[in-house]
């Protein structure tokens, strides 16, 4: 689990480097001004592009041929690694739908605002998690309710 999340963070960091320029969202500007929206739009698009590229690489490796390790232990290790890789790609497929949803919210003027309270999510949270749909407080409350309902 830690490596999957680590991979997700690495890909996001790579996307940030790819669009790096002179601009970074700042608290000094109006919240969700055109420059901020453009920054997050480009970040989300680059993040999606990197994920799709990695998925295509995985698909190409799968098409190149089955696992042909002569030793049973080596074959088992390879199959385990492929299983982890495929689970990672499935997780990223779900992430792409969240990225698409965030891009839609940008186009509709809803990006950056909590879907529960309507309050600004905050630049720090959006920089860490550009697909965030709730403020930290709303997310924590949601997770507490989820935990309570699971415990029942």
User: Angle 34-63/72-108 helices, nearest 10 degrees?
Assistant: 150
Yes or no: say if 25 and 123 are a contact pair by the CB < 8 Å rule. Answer: yes
Buried b (16+ CB within 10 A) or exposed e, 99-111: beebbebbeeeeb
Beta bridge partner(s), residue 113 = 120
Tokens, residue 115: 């879907």
**Which tens digits make up the pLDDT trace of 112-146?**
999 999 999 999 999 999 999 999 999 999 999 98
Tokens, residue 62: 């799968």
CA atoms within 13 A on the CB side of 93: 9
**pLDDT-derived band of residue 2, with 50, 70 and 90 as boundaries?**
very low
Helix (H, G, I), strand (E, B) or coil at 129: coil
**Which tens digits make up the pLDDT trace of 48-102?**
999 898 877 776 666 666 566 677 777 777 777 777 777 877 888 899 999 999 9
**Nearest-angstrom CA–CA distance, 58 and 86:** 8
**Nearest-angstrom CA–CA distance, 42 and 93:** 19
What pLDDT is stored for residue 66 in this prediction?
59
DSSP 113: B
Tokens, residue 20: 């790096």
Residue 61 vs residue 33, higher pLDDT: 33
């Amino acid at each position: 689990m830690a490596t999957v999340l680590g991979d997700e963070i690495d890909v996001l960091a790579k996307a940030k480097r790819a669009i790096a320029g002179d601009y970074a969202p700042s608290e000094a500007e109006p919240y969700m001004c055109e420059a901020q929206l453009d920054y997050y739009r480009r970040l989300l698009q680059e993040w999606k592009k990197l994920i799709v590229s990695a998925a295509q690489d995985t698909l190409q490796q799968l098409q190149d041929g089955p696992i042909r390790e002569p030793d049973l232990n080596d074959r088992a290790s390879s199959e385990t690694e492929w299983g982890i890789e495929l689970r990672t790609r499935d997780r990223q497929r779900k992430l792409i739908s969240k990225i698409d949803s965030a891009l839609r919210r940008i186009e509709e003027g809803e990006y950056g605002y909590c879907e529960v309270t309507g309050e600004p999510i905050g630049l720090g949270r959006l920089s860490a998690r550009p697909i965030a749909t709730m403020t930290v407080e709303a997310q924590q409350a949601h997770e507490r309710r989820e935990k309570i309902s699971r415990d029942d």
